[in-house]
Structure 1
Amino acid sequence: METVAMHIANGIVNAQVSAVFAVFAVVALALCVARGRADLDDRLAPMAGLVAAFIFAVQMLNFQVLPGVSGHLLGGTLAVMLVGPWVGALCVSTVLIIQCLLFADGGLTALGLNITNMAVIGTAAGYLLVAGLLRVLPKTPTGLAVTGFIASVIGVVIASQGFVLQYWLGGTTDLSLPAIAGTMAGVHTLIGVGEGLITATTVATVARVRPDLVYALRRFRTRPGSTAGATPSLRSAA
Structure 2
Amino acid sequence: MFPFSSAVTSFPISLAEKPGPAHNVMVKEVWGFNALIEWEPPKDDGNSEITGYSIQKADKKTMEWFTVYEHNRLTRCTVSDLIMGNEYFFRVFSENICGLSENPGVTKNTAYIQKSGIICKRMDYQEHDFRMAPMFLTPLVDRTVVAGYTTALNCAVRGHPKPRVIWMKNKMDLSGDPKFLQKNSQGVLTLNIRKPSPFDSATYSCKAINELGEAFVECKLEVKAPQ
Greater fraction of residues in helix: 1
Query: Which protein shows a greater Rg?
Result: 2
TM-score bin, normalised by smaller chain: under 0.3
Greater fraction of residues in strand: 2
TM-score normalised by the chain length of structure 2: 0.25
